[in-house]
Copies of this chain bind each other. A is one copy, B any other.
Amino acid sequence: MDASSPDKTDLTALDQYWQAANYLSVGQIYLLDNPLLREPLQPEHIKPRLLGHWGTTPGLNFIYAHLNRVIRARDLDMIYICGPGHGGPGMVANTYLEGTYSEIYPDITRDKDGLRKLFRQFSFPGGIPSHAAPETPGSIHEGGELGYSLLHAYGAAFDNPNLIVACVIGDGEAETGPLAASWHSNKFLNPAHDGAVLPILHLNGYKIANPTILARMRDEEISLLLKGYGFDPLFVEGRDPSDMHQKMARALDEVLDRIGDTQTRARNNPSAGRPRWPMIVLRTPKGWTGPKEVDGKKVEGFWRAHQVPIEGVRTDHAHLEILEKWMRSYRPEALFDDAGCLRTDLQALAPTGLRRMGANPHANGGTLKRKLTLPDYRSYAVDLRSPGSQFGEATRIMGGYLRDVIWLNAANKTFRLMGPDETASNRLDAVFEATDRVWLEEIEPFDVGLAPDGRVMEVLSEHLCQGWLEGYLLTGRHGLFNCYEAFVHIVDSMFNQHAKWLAVSRRLPWRRPIASLNYLLSSHVWRQDHNGFTHQVPGFVDLVANKDSDIVRIYFPPDANTLLCVADHCLRTYDRINVIVAGKQSSPQWLSMQEAEAHCKDGIGIWQWATTEGTDEPDLVMACAGDIPTLETLAAVSLLREALPDLKIRVVNVIDLMTLQPREQHPHGLSDKEFDRLFTRDRPVIFAYHGYPYMIHRPTYNRANHENIHARGYREKGTTTTPFEMVVMNELDRFHLAIEAVERVPGLKAKATAIRQLYEGKLTEHHRYIREHGEDMPEILNWRWPRSFGRDE
């Protein structure tokens, strides 16, 4: 393509632009004042604490400048994912040079005073973080934790046919598991209706204190690896800037031509199959253009360039001299005009308006977000005459709802469902009536539900599911991640990072809200019939509860109708992380849709139809959260109602776990008055909880009645056994609950021993039965909420 082929003149200016970015990057790390070096550098111009990462930055700046060139030449819609996000000074420098920084932060003007502030604020109290954080224009990826850049890039590219996502992957990051797997994302990108990802693997050779695996591999071996991953790598290698500019420009032109050809081919012939996508391997010295040596030790091209390459600059005059010489090597006087503004001809090298990568709306996805069209969740309701009178598989019913969510938003292409090969296992398979699984590899005639344009993404990697979804949400779309409860812990750390992103971005007025990250955790701890102990881990919500209360929500809908309400609610929220834990097995249904709606609205409430309290205070509160604990609690209540008809039992069910928190700590938290109204101030509370029982004590330890709250849950006991034996092993079953209830109610001491004996006898009998027959006793399997107890009319 002639129009974009660079000539020497172009690249001289581009080189100066790059030098300006490098200069600004060094300035941010070092300078308090004298930003243009118009006077000799003095110790008082230097920050007292030198913080930040230089090593990766010149490479990031080099790429940014070159991407600017091709965006202008080809009018590209492009964003920049900065895998080595700790190279924040580079991202800030570039968005400042292109003007977006000053538009968003008008205080940071494009003049000497603005430059001084720009430098000063970096990693400075009251200033900006050192990474490509939410505060950084154009960023959807902080890169604080390494491994997810390519996933975010693909997530951004899905359903964005005109977008090109340039993704810089550091060779440190490339050693992580998630990154190593995410190269395979190309098997899920449809060139016909998705955008393109341009991976730029940046081999600068070193991590904090070690060489990197990939950089020490020879090109031949790297090339085999990347070709094996389905890419066609172009190598751009060297250290001489003018030579490197020529190579990089040529390489970018070539890969963009090929991306264009690939897309054209696929859009003309949608069955063209999976293409081999081009990518760039950029090999440059770490800390390129920085000091070669400091105190006789190699710095440029070595790991000593990783953070601050010259320390002690305030006190060591020789170091100050090295710094000054280094900074002056960029010739700031030739780059900035008298006022301290980038030379106009250099400014012209940046794209304009929304084409600037710092201003591209895809990197502020909330601005592009369209509302989901949602079906009426009521129309999927289980039509229930009385509590427990019907059975249903909650997630299967939700599958019908999700099918129609997909169907209604299919034209807009704004919703995707992610799952690590568990969508059918989690019984959401109704979705396959509306769509298929994305599959770009070959499809056999006997395959079921695979297509290049499916809206369900399945891959056996929770990391990939989470990372893609994050990228998809951050660029303004919607989605849900369904996962086995135990293995969502695989993405604990990704959850942490996304929660941190939201905590910051929601405080930035220029960042528009994005759709919430919704988890549906099924195949949960209590029903791991095929798998046993390794699959029994209900602790993800413990982690979630540590995060900002503005952001996190945890729901335990006990049946299908409540699950429908909760799911519908979550899909309407933004800037949150919603965790829904729900069962997939056939279980009794408790609430009509009308009751479910009221219950979900409150998040917690008394189930009047199950209680026997009349108008007095109850003798006892039986509380529950989660489908299995609810079932066991109600079974225990039915035992107690038969054994002790005069006992006044209240049943409280908790859907929204955050209601248990003090109101001051969570917006959904109950006031003490409301809490006391439900749980009383002095009656025993037997609380059957889905997960680790501490999760009930921790939000309630300050409530008036907390001493009487006795939580039961998963005690880390399990194996491959029957469903009822699982609850027995953890003493969460109806008999243990009933025994504790009787023992906790002061007036029942006399009867307690007989009742304990009775129920322990039942447990022994059950134990014997299952070892003989291999399945639960009929009286357990067939237990139903007694019709005679009916419903409060």
Q: Taking each of A176, A225, A535, A773, which has the highest tally of chain B beta carbons within 10 Å of its own beta carbon?
A: A176
A331 at the interface (CB under 8 A from B): no
Among B177, B208, B216, B722, which residue has its beta carbon within 8 angstroms of that of A463? B177
Which A485-536 residues sit within 8 Å CB-CB of chain B?
A: 486-487, 489-490, 492-493, 496-497, 500, 503-504, 529-535
Beta-carbon contact of A307 and B530 below 8 Å: yes
Beta-carbon contact of B774 and A49 below 8 Å: yes
From residue A193, how far is it (CB to closest CB) to chain B in Å? 21
Q: Which of A129-137, A370-378, A648-656 contacts B (4 or more CB under 8 A)?
A: A129-137
Beta-carbon contact of B421 and A208 below 8 Å: yes
Among B51, B180, B531, B543, which residue has its beta carbon within 8 angstroms of that of A180? B180
Closest to A218 in B: B442
From residue A155, how far is it (CB to closest CB) to chain B in Å? 15
List residues of chain B with CB within 8 A of the CB of A719: 129
Number of copies: 2
Q: Taking each of A486, A692, A694, A775, which has the highest tally of chain B beta carbons within 10 Å of its own beta carbon?
A: A694
A86 at the interface (CB under 8 A from B): yes
> Is the contact region of chain A dominated by helix, strand, or loop, or is it mixed?
loop
A721 at the interface (CB under 8 A from B): yes
List residues of chain B with CB within 8 A of the CB of A124: 720-721, 771, 774
Q: Taking each of A209, A223, A773, which has the highest tally of chain B beta carbons within 10 Å of its own beta carbon?
A: A209
List residues of chain B with CB within 8 A of the CB of A441: 211, 213, 216-217
List residues of chain B with CB within 8 A of the CB of A504: 533
Which A140-175 residues sit within 8 Å CB-CB of chain B?
A: 142, 144-147, 172-173, 175
CA distance A127 to B461 in the complex (A): 31
Closest to A493 in B: B489
From residue A141, how far is it (CB to closest CB) to chain B in Å? 11
Size category of the binding interface on chain A: 35 or more
From residue A630, how far is it (CB to closest CB) to chain B in Å? 22
Beta-carbon contact of B533 and A172 below 8 Å: no
List residues of chain B with CB within 8 A of the CB of A701: 697-698, 701, 706
Q: Taking each of A52, A421, A450, A775, which has the highest tally of chain B beta carbons within 10 Å of its own beta carbon?
A: A421
List residues of chain B with CB within 8 A of the CB of A548: 716
Beta-carbon contact of A450 and B211 below 8 Å: yes
Beta-carbon contact of B142 and A534 below 8 Å: yes
Beta-carbon contact of B458 and A210 below 8 Å: yes
Among B128, B209, B694, B707, which residue has its beta carbon within 8 angstroms of that of A421? B209
Which A695-729 residues sit within 8 Å CB-CB of chain B?
A: 697-698, 701-702, 706-707, 716, 719-722, 725
Which A523-574 residues sit within 8 Å CB-CB of chain B?
A: 529-535, 537, 539, 542-543, 545-548
List residues of chain B with CB within 8 A of the CB of A182: 177
17 extra interface residue pairs, beta carbon distance < 8 Å, beyond A216-B441, A492-B543: A49-B775, A129-B720, A131-B531, A176-B181, A213-B459, A216-B442, A224-B224, A225-B228, A228-B228, A486-B493, A486-B496, A489-B492, A493-B537, A503-B533, A539-B546, A542-B543, A543-B543
